[in-house]
Amino acid sequence: MIVVCLQKESYHGVPIDARIESDIYKLKDEGLQLEKTEPKKAIVYYKDLLSHEYFINDFWPYRRLVLMYKKTKEFDKKTEIIKTFLKSGIYCNNHHYLWFRNKLRTLAEKDYISHEEIDSLTDYFKIHSLNNKQKANTPLPIADRIRK
């Protein structure tokens, strides 16, 4: 069970930010352990993380889902999760953006998506997601993070 305290105090001498960071690490590690033994359960786990308060504005669960769909050879779902991410408004740096885009280009070679659709998605991402840089990886649910 994860307990989050939104006050600016410490909890038993541990700063709140360190507790949240520890919780995030535990959640990520749990998913990584599932990937090794039960890929299908890892997919369900990462889908749940997409709506978890710590990962609302984080690309990490999307990236892990892409890798898991590749591992399970579900290329149509891999395509859909990348499209969902690019339309989500979630910020990621240029390195990760290019990673997602290159995955789409590989899928285009296998006819899972057209090059025109990739161009459309990347244009949308550049307009909507790059404006959300200040919200990237913010672990606390605050009113400013509510998607409009």
The answer, yes or no, to whether residue 88 has pLDDT greater than 70, is yes
The answer, yes or no, to whether residue 125 has pLDDT greater than 70, is yes
- Distance, CA of 35 to CA of 30 (rounded, Å): 9
Tens digit of each residue's pLDDT (9 = 90 or more) over 1-46: 444 444 444 333 445 467 777 888 999 999 999 999 999 999 999 9
In the chain, the amino acid numbered 54 is Y
The answer, yes or no, to whether residue 140 has pLDDT greater than 50, is no
In the chain, the amino acid numbered 45 is Y
pLDDT for 94 equals 86
pLDDT for 93 equals 85
pLDDT for 57 equals 85
Distance of CA 135 to the CA centre of its chain: 13
- Distance, CA of 134 to CA of 137 (rounded, Å): 9
Considering only residues 99 and 10, tell me which one the structure prediction assigns the higher pLDDT.
Answer: 99
Q: Residue 49's CB: how many other CB atoms inside 10 A? A: 21
The answer, yes or no, to whether residue 71 has pLDDT greater than 60, is yes
What are phi and psi for residue 42, nearest 5 degrees? -65, -40
The answer, yes or no, to whether residue 83 has pLDDT greater than 70, is yes
The residues, ordered by sequence, that sit 6+ positions from 104 with a Cβ below 8 Å of its Cβ are 79, 82, 113, 118, 121
Token digits for 114? 């057209």
Residues 64, 35 contacting (CB under 8 angstroms): yes
pLDDT for 133 equals 62
pLDDT > 70 fraction of the chain, expressed in percent and rounded:
76
pLDDT for 1 equals 45
- Distance, CA of 127 to CA of 121 (rounded, Å): 10
